[in-house]
Structure 1
Amino acid sequence: MLETDKAFTGSIPENYDRYMVPLIFEPFAADLARRAASLSPGAVLEIAAGTGVVTRVLAPKLSPGASYVVSDLNQPMLDYAASRQAPDSRITWRQADAMALPFEDAAFDVVCCQFGAMFFPNRSAAYREAKRVLKPGGHFLFNVWDRIEENVFADDVTNALARMFPDDPPRFLARTPHGYHDTALIRGDLEDAGFTHVVIETRAEQSRASSPRLPAVAYCKGTVLRSEIEARDAGKLEAATDYAAAAIAERHGSGEVAAKIQAHVVVALA
C-alpha cells in the first residue's frame, strides 16, 4: 500500500458515501452490524469507520445503555460520518490510528471494522491493539474484500484503466482494497497478535446499479483511484470515468447492471 492510498480527502468522502456505499458496502454493513448486535455488547469500538455506513445500521440495534465509540484515521471521512448520523448520546466520535488506539486496556466488548484492515500499514500491530482494548472473551469482527477477480465491477474498471493508461496503469483497487485476501495470511496475522479462535467466512453478494455509469463514477471519483487517474493526467478524470462506464456497459448492458462482490468476514475471540 502506498501512503497516498489513505488520502480520502476533498470531494472523495461525499462521492464515496453517495456512490460506493450503496454499490458495495451496504449489504456487508448489514451483515457486520447484525453479528455485532447479536453479541449484546455494552461497549463497542468501531475502527476505520469511513463515512459511517456500519454506524448507521448498528447504532439502532444497540441497547439504550450501550456506549459506541466511532473512529477513523481520516478526519474528513469521520466528519462526514458524523454529519450523516442522527444525534445519539451513546456515540462518541474520535479520530484514532488503529496502530495506536487512544483507549485503555480491556475497555470494549466488541471491536468492529468494515473494510479497513487492508489499509493498515502493519496489520499484526493493529490486531494487537484491537486485542489490547478488548475485554477477555471480547470479539473482534471485521471484513476484507476477496481478490479483485471475485469483485466484478472493480475488476472491470481496473482492466479498462489499464487499457487507457498502458504505460502506468492505476492499480489502487487491486493493490489495496483487494490486496489482502489470503485467508491463511489473515489467520496468521491474527494469531501473531494473540487471537486464538478465528473463524473466517467467505460471503458473496450482488452489486447493483441503475446504469453502468454509476459503478464507473463510484470507483473513479469515490475512491483514491481518482487521485491516481489525476496524477497520470489531470484533465482525464471525466474521460477515464466515461471509458470505464463504456467497458461496464459492453460487458453488462446499458440498463440496470448487477455483478458479484465477495468478501471474507472474520470473527476473532480475545
Structure 2
Amino acid sequence: MKQELELIRDQQKEVWNRFSSGWKKWDELMMDFLKPVGDEMIRLLNPGGNDMVLDIASGTGEPGLTIAALLDGGKVILTDLSEDMLKIAAENAADRGISNIETLVCDVCDLPFEDNTFNAVSCRFGFMFFPDMLLAAKEMARVLKPGGKIVTSVWDVPEKNFWVTAIMGTISRNIDLPAVPPGAPGMFRCANSDLMSDIFRTAGLTNIVKKDVAGKMNCHTADVYWNLMNEVAAPVVAALSNADTAIKDKIKVEVYEAMSRKFTDGNVVIDSSAVVFCAEK
C-alpha cells in the first residue's frame, strides 16, 4: 500500500479507537437507526446453515452479530481497524448469547485469509472510508468462494441525509473548513449512483443489485441530536475542535433552530437515505 494510503489508514484507526466510547454510549440509538440497512443487507445475503461469513468494518458488531444469530453451525468473523470497537462488539455478542463469532483487527486492503474462504462478505458503511476502495473490493472478492455474495451499504446524497447536513452544513457556514480533495474518504464519497457498481465490476463481481433504503434517526430532542453527533461523528468534533467558544455557541444555536424549523412538533426524528449493493463472485 502506498505510504499516503497507509497514513490515512493509521489516522482512521486512531480516530475510531478514540470515538469508541461514544459509540458504546449511543449504541442502542445508532443500531436502531442503522437497522433497516442491516436488514436489507441480510435479506440480500440470505445467510444460514454452516456459512462462513466475513463482516468488515464491523464497529460495535452489526450486521455481523445478527447474521451470526441466523446461522446453524456457521460462523462470522468480525473485522475492523479499531481494536476498541471490536471489544464492544465482543461485549455485545456476549450480552446476546452469541458465541459463533470471532473478532480480528485487520486491514480490508490486506485481509489475512486464504482465497475462497467465505460464503458471504458484508460491509456496512465502510467503503467510503477505505483508502483504496478498489483494492478493498478485490480483497473481498479474493476471499469469497465462487458463487458467494458480497453486500455493502453507502450513504446516498447529502440532500437526503439531513441527520448529517443539519450540523455539518451549519459548521461549514460558520467555519472555513479546508477543501476535501476529490475522491478522499468521507461520508458521501460513494453517493455517485454508479461508483460502487463500477468498483464491483472492476473487481470481477457480477449480478450487481442495488436497493435504496430509508431510515430514521430517533433522537426525539435537539439535545440528544447535538450530544450524539458531538460524541460519535469525528468530522463534527474535528471541525469544532479549533473553533472558539463564541463560534461553537453560535453553531449550536443555529443547529437547534434548524431542528425547530424542521420538526415543529418538537419530536426530532430525522430521515436518512442509504444505498445497498449486492454482487456475486
- Report deviation, 1:153: 1.8
- Report deviation, 1:25: 1.5
Question: Does structure 2 conserve the Cα–Cα contact (< 8 Å) formed by 1:145 and 1:180?
Answer: yes
Instruction: State how 1:228-247 maps to structure 2 within 5 Å.
Output: 228-233=238-243, 239=249, 240-241=251-252, 243-247=254-258
Which amino acid letter does the alignment assign opposite residue 193 of structure 1?
A: A
Question: Does structure 1 conserve the Cα–Cα contact (< 8 Å) formed by 2:83 and 2:105?
Answer: yes
Which of the residues 8, 14, 21 maps onto 2:30?
Answer: 21
Which of the residues 224, 228, 233 maps onto 1:223?
Answer: 233
**Pair 1:108-2:118 in alignment:** yes
1:84 aligned partner:
92
Which of the residues 246, 252, 255 maps onto 2:266?
Answer: 255
- Counterpart-to-counterpart distance in 1, 2:198 and 2:46: 27
213-222 vs 90-99, greater mean Cα deviation: 213-222
22-31 vs 118-127, greater mean Cα deviation: 22-31
- Structure 1 residues 237 and 159 mapped into 2: Cα distance closer, same or farther (>3 Å)? same
Which amino acid letter does the alignment assign opposite residue 259 of structure 1?
A: I
- Report deviation, 1:223: 1.6
In the superposition, the TM-score normalised over structure 2's length comes to: 0.84
2:16 aligned partner:
8
- Counterpart-to-counterpart distance in 2, 1:15 and 1:255: 25
Aligned-partner SS, 1:76 = helix
1:32 aligned partner:
41
Q: Deviations over 1:155-174 (max 9, x none)?
A: 11111112332x22797xx9
Instruction: State how 1:194-209 maps to structure 2 within 5 Å.
Output: 194-209=204-219
2:157 aligned partner:
147
**Pair 1:43-2:52 in alignment:** yes
- Structure 1 residues 163 and 180 mapped into 2: Cα distance closer, same or farther (>3 Å)? same
- Structure 1 residues 252 and 175 mapped into 2: Cα distance closer, same or farther (>3 Å)? farther
Question: Does structure 2 conserve the Cα–Cα contact (< 8 Å) formed by 1:23 and 1:215?
Answer: no
Aligned-partner SS, 1:8 = helix
- Report deviation, 1:8: 1.5
- Report deviation, 1:227: 3.6
**Pair 1:160-2:167 in alignment:** no
191-200 vs 86-95, greater mean Cα deviation: 86-95
1:138 aligned partner:
148
Q: How many pairs align?
A: 266
1:68 aligned partner:
76
**Pair 1:57-2:66 in alignment:** yes
Q: Identify unmatched segments of 5+ residues in structure 2.
A: none
Give percent identity, aligned residues only.
26
Q: Deviations over 1:130-164 (max 9, x none)?
A: 11000000000111110111111211111111233
- Counterpart-to-counterpart distance in 1, 2:160 and 2:119: 33
Superposed structure 1 runs of 4+ greater than 4 Å apart: 38-41, 234-238, 240-243
- Report deviation, 1:241: 4.9
Which amino acid letter does the alignment assign opposite residue 14 of structure 1?
A: S
- Counterpart-to-counterpart distance in 1, 2:173 and 2:247: 15
- Report deviation, 1:79: 1.6
- Structure 1 residues 29 and 231 mapped into 2: Cα distance closer, same or farther (>3 Å)? same
- Counterpart-to-counterpart distance in 1, 2:30 and 2:179: 22
- Structure 1 residues 245 and 15 mapped into 2: Cα distance closer, same or farther (>3 Å)? farther
- Counterpart-to-counterpart distance in 1, 2:179 and 2:170: 10
- Report deviation, 1:47: 0.4
